[in-house]
Structure 1
Amino acid sequence: MEDTWNHYYNILFKISSITGAWPYLKLRTKIFRVTLRTTITLTILIPQLAYQFKCKKDMQCTFKAMTAYLLSFIAMLKVYTIQSNTRTIKNFIQHLLGYWKELQTSEEYEIMKSYAENSRRFSLVYTIYCFIAVIVFVLMSLIPYALDIVLPLNESRPFLPPYQGYYYFVDMQDYFFETISHGIVAWTVTVAGLVVHDCMFVTFVEHVCSMFAVVGFRYEQLLFNRNEEMKDVNNSSEISHKKIAFFVHTHREALKYAQLLENTFTTPFAIQMLIVTIEMSISLLQIAQGNEDTLEALRYIFYVFGQLIHLFFLSFEGQKLIDHSLQIRDKIYNSCWYSASIKLQKLIIFVMMKSLQPSFLSAGKIYILSLKSFTTVLQTSMSYLTVLTSMQ
């Protein structure tokens, strides 16, 4: 069990421990790390808000400021979503570890391994992607400075700040390298909170999907004897009824944890979807207007691309949960249910009826996370873009 944990969940454990999100940390350690991370995030969030107030009625300046501090808000929201649901996180982790011990066959173990591997792969790729992206985003500010040295012009190229912020006591251009160093550290710490939230979310969704997959496999194999192919088990009706009762229990457990995910994340996701829609609309507006130089426009393109990746992964996991919850009925139907006794068939029908209603994840009980809804957000962002363009 320890080897399994180290292989599949060690990345999640390390990144959540470093950021103070791991629920089993000592209270003093947890408070210190969360406080430190919040303080560092505020060192970029407060200048971003100050830049917003500096804009006054300049809409172009306002939109620039919003793309910066809205991302900080999302990161802070994700951080405190995890912190405010410590008991739920513990519950999921305990159940995740305990569920490996409940597996009965090598096939079930392989099913569980495949979903755990999905979690591990996502955690690794997503963590590397986010940290590289934020470092590249900040270091793009060095390009004008480097070009002035390599290919000097009669005048200096326009200053590209690491992020949109305003310091009352410091000129970002005069303290350019100090600002870049601070930006790399602060944004890395800020994005780490976002990474932990998303990795935990995907790990838990994959775990619930694995539960549905294992239950579906058990129903498929219910009427088969592993020693004798396609052997009817009507003669052992009592054993079959006990199996059905056990399968119903594990199915209800999967439904319970799917609902627990929904209750935990629905409100934070509602706020995130609103912010993401506004962010993408404003970023697309900045690109469409073409008022920025090439590097600034490239930044907005990267920004939109990052938001699309983030939204796609959330929608994909939501779609995956819907599909797995509905596949129970298909797997039951594909089994030899017709070989069972009439009493057993009636029990199976009740299970199939329960599977007609999918489990899903939503944002505020309104927006259901799915691939179809993903396209809806894109359409909404384009609609907002049209409205914002007409206001210019």
Structure 2
Amino acid sequence: MICVETQHFNLNRILLLAIGLWPYRKSKFSQLQTTLCFGILTSFVVFQFTALITTKCTADFIIKICSTAIFFSFYVINYNMFWINTHNMRNLLEQLQYICNELKDENELAIIKKFGHNTRRCTAIITLFTICSTFLVILLPIWPQILSTVLHINESRIQSQTIQITTEYFVDQNKYFYFILLHSNTVICIGATTLTATGTMLIGCAIHACGLFRIASYRMEQIMTIKMLQDINLKNRTMICNKIFYAVEIHRKAIKFTDFLFASFQGSLLLLIAITVISMSLNVFAIYRNALLGNTEAILLHLVGIFTILLYSFISNYIGEELCNHSNHIYSTTYNIRWYMAPLYAQKMILFILQRGSQVSDINIAGLFVPSLECFATLTKASMSYFTVLYSMQQ
């Protein structure tokens, strides 16, 4: 028997527990943890926008504030997306566990275990990459302090090099410099954990959906065997009908699981898509402006933001592409079996599967976006188009 929670989503469980979003644990401590994490993420976005109140608002300054604030709102939306869909996430895991409990064939169990292993491996790689990236991002502002004893840099200069994200706390920022730095580093750690935990959880569910479609294809392959075709008796007729039924059943459950996955998060995903395009456009424009001013440190900050969003968007759309491919693979599998040698009653049943499979199963978000590599290219192109608009307006 397969336990999805402990065998396939163990690392995901640890990551979600760290930020209070694991759907099976809702104690008072976890509720306090969730409120605290969400408050820290939200406050950092608010303190960036408050800089617009106390500082003269020029076009460059507004773009500077918006490019970073909208990027950090990406963290807030991801966190809120899982927070409000905790019940749906628990239902998804329960559906998956129920489907796995019904699997009896050794080959089918091997298939779902293989995709579970892919989930663990993908989560481990992304988590390791996130830990290394977060450590480097946190280390960059502190690096001048490490070299201060060698280069004899005074503290005011260190602080001017350290604070890259413009904020307004309505306090003396030189006096409370280290508290502000602690706040920003805490936000980076919580935000990175949020992106990793929520992203890998959705990726894991999508990978398991691919596994369910692969099992459906496997069951279709097993419908017509040479032994059955050589002796079409009543027993074999019944076995053929049962195999067709089981193949259609797992295919229907896979489609239902996938539809529920995207329906649960489609509102937040639409907002994330919009934030992705806007943030990329503003950060590219900010890089252009800082390149003219020769501000290397600010360029590095915006490059990190662009790289994070591009990587997140690419992985999400790549998984969507794989999900569509696995969903559509059942048509070619059904067509390639020896359905033409089956009895007439079986051909009629298989015909319904072919008709359903001939329709391309695009996994769409609110009927507007289809997660795929083509969609990733479209979003990237749209971001560059808006950058061009900003550039022409600046001219």
Give the TM-score normalised by the residue count of structure 1: 0.91
| Range that drifts further, 306-315 or 77-86 | 77-86
| Contact kept in structure 1, 2:219 and 2:243, CA below 8 Å | no
- Alpha-carbon distance in 2 for matches of 1:306, 1:370: 18
- Give the AA of the match of 2:184: G
Aligned to 1:317: 319
Aligned match of 2:119: 119
In the alignment, residue 381 of structure 1 is paired with which amino acid? Answer: S
Unaligned runs of 5+ in 2: none
Q: Evaluate the alpha carbon distance shift between residue 283 and residue 2 of structure 1 in structure 2; reply closer, same or farther with a 3 A threshold.
A: same
What is the SS of the residue equivalent to 1:362? Answer: coil
CA distance in 1, matches of 2:2, 2:182: 39
Relative to structure 2, which stretch is displaced further, 252-261 or 70-79?
A: 70-79
Query: How large is the RMSD of aligned CA atoms in angstroms?
Result: 2.4
The match for 2:232 is 234
Counterpart CA distance in 1 for 2:318 and 2:194 is 21
| Aligned residue number for residue 139 of structure 1 | 139
Aligned 8 A contact 2:95 2:257 in 1: no
Structure 1 stretch displaced more, 94-103 or 250-259: 94-103
Q: Counterparts of 1:55 and 1:106 in 2: how far apart (Å)? A: 67
Is 2:248 aligned against 1:248? yes
Instruction: Return the alpha-carbon distance in structure 1 between the equivalents of residues 119 and 321 of structure 2.
Output: 16
Deviation at 1:266, TM superposition (A): 1.8
| Displacement after TM superposition at 1:146 (Å) | 4.0
Return closer, same or farther for 1:272/1:117 CA change in 2, 3 Å cut-off. Answer: same
Q: Distance in 1 between matches of 2:294 and 2:46?
A: 24
Name which of structure 1's ranges 189-198 and 248-257 shifts more when overlaid on structure 2: 189-198
CA distance in 1, matches of 2:64, 2:139: 18
After TM superposition, the structure 1 = structure 2 runs for residues 67-146 of structure 1, keeping only pairs within 5 Å, are: 67-146=67-146
CA distance in 2, matches of 1:315, 1:114: 22
Q: Give, in whole Å, the separation in 1 of the partners of 2:322 and 2:211.
A: 11
- 1:366 is aligned, of 368, 375, 379, to 368
- Residue 345 (structure 1) aligns with: 347
Q: Give the C-alpha shift of residue 53 in structure 1.
A: 3.5
| Closer/same/farther in 2, CA of residues 37 and 233 from structure 1, 3 Å limit | farther
Paired with 1:269 and 1:3, the residues of 2 have a C-alpha distance of 29
Q: Which AA in structure 1 matches 2:198?
A: H
What one-letter code is carried by the residue in structure 1 that aligns with 2:192? V
After alignment, is 216-225 or 231-240 more displaced?
Answer: 231-240
Structure-2 change in CA distance of 1:292 and 1:360 (3 Å): farther
Matched, 1:34 2:72: no
Does residue 296 (structure 1) correspond to residue 298 (structure 2)? The answer is yes
CA distance in 2, matches of 1:233, 1:275: 61
For 2:273 and 2:126, how far apart are their aligned partners in 1? 19
| Distance apart, 1:249 and its partner CA | 1.6
1:199 is matched with 200
Alignment length, in residue pairs? 388
- Contact 1:273–1:363, Cα closer than 8 Å, also in 2: no
**What letter corresponds to residue 116 of structure 1 in structure 2?**
G
- The answer to which of 136-145 and 313-322 deviates more is 136-145
Deviation at 1:293, TM superposition (A): 1.8
- For residues 213 and 175 of structure 2, the distance between their equivalents in structure 1, rounded to whole angstroms, comes to 58
Q: Which residue pairs with 2:223 in the alignment?
A: 222
- 1:276 is matched with 276
TM-fit CA distance, 1:87:
2.5
Q: Following TM superposition, by how much is the alpha carbon of 1:137 offset from its aligned partner in structure 2, in angstroms?
A: 2.0
**Pairwise CA distance, 1:153:** 7.1
Structure 1 residues 233 and 332: alpha-carbon distance in aligned structure 2, compared to 1, 3 A threshold:
farther
Deviations along 1:234-276, whole A, 9 cap, x unmatched?
3211221122122212111111111112211222111111111
CA contact 1:160–1:296 (8 Å) conserved in 2: no
Provide the C-alpha distance between the structure 1 equivalents of 2:283 and 2:66, rounded to a whole number of angstroms: 9
Cα deviation 1:190-223 (Å, max 9, x = unaligned): 3322222212211111111111010011101211
Aligned-pair identity (%) = 24
| Structure 1 residue matching 2:161: 3-state secondary structure | coil
SS class of match (1:164): coil
Give, as a single letter, the amino acid of the residue that structure 1 aligns with 2:79: V
